[in-house]
Amino acid sequence: MEDGFLYKILSFLYPVPTSVGAEAAEQPLEVIALGLSRTGTESLSKALNTLGYGPVAHGMRVAGDPALSAAWIRLTFQKMRRVPAGEGSSQYRFDSGLRAATFDTILRPYAALTDNPGTLFAEELIAAYPDAKIIVNKRSDIDAWHTSWKTALLPFCFDWQLWALSFFDRDLFWMVAGWTYLTTKPYCVHRWDEQGRQVYQRHYDWIDSALERHGRAGTELRWEVHDGWAPLCDFLGRSIPEQPFPNGNGPEDFTRLINEQMHIAKQRAWRNVVLCLTLLVAALTYLVGSI
């Protein structure tokens, strides 16, 4: 089934707002951080806000916003649709031709971007915003990164109870679909122990080649969270704030925040489950009684 057609079916069954960012003031995207999740993206997001680049489009916003999740899924489907058959997991890692006119429908309210799902479109974003400053945030200890991903993200990718429950509430559906189409599928998490480190290396190799192809090689900042304020502020031309560099969220904090974001939608879904079961029992009782 063509992925664009699949998206149309999903959005028909679970309608979502399509005017993401329409009411917010338009501003240029000034900073793009292309590092994978769990490489200090939350700390970097807070730091960019402190330096005046707010609001920041960060993955936690997408995870808790069904409209944003659906909008990024739509772009992911457009990207997949341009991939020849047989390319496997690499289908998410090439220049689809999507540019600023498309991304602006989502990114209009933001001055900076960090984290997934923006990282899925690293090359497109490099090409779409030639005046934006590029940060390549990394984590030198790949084993620690691999473990952090496995601890924080994978439980949501394989929560089958949550997946089944999502069919009973529109907002929960798009939140959970975000885990499927923006994390599980593109990052091969079903084979994480075998392929996770390769996912990391391929992503940063892709960024390097994309920067080269679009004439941006050497203009980016290579940064890790322990580098703190100094190189970041020097790169952006900002004064170093008189405060400690912000902390991010550990795996336990991440899990708690995601569950808090889903709490109300999960309550509605369970209510709908009970309602459906009640109606089913009533219907069966009526049918048995009429025999």
Mean pLDDT calculated for residue range 72-100? 70
**pLDDT-above-70 percentage for the chain:** 91
Check: CB of residue 177 under 8 Å from CB of residue 117.
no
- According to DSSP, residue 25 is labeled P
Q: Where are the domains of the chain?
A: 3-289
* Residue 237, burial from CB neighbour count under 10 angstroms (0-12, 13-18, 19+): exposed
Give residue 84's pLDDT band: very low, low, confident or very high (50, 70, 90): low
Question: Which string of b and e fits 149-161 if b means at least 16 CB within 10 Å?
Answer: bbebbbebbeeee
Rounded Cα distance between 259 and 156, Å, is: 10
What is the mean predicted confidence (pLDDT) over 251-274?
A: 95
CATH architecture of 3-289: 3-Layer(aba) Sandwich (3.40)
d(CA 88, CA 30): 33
Token digits of residue 78: 């457009």
Q: What is the pLDDT of residues 193-229, one digit of tens each?
A: 999 999 999 999 999 999 999 999 999 999 999 999 9
Please state, as a whole number, how many other Cβ atoms lie within 10 Å of the Cβ of residue 89.
Answer: 15
Judge whether residue 46 has pLDDT over 70: yes
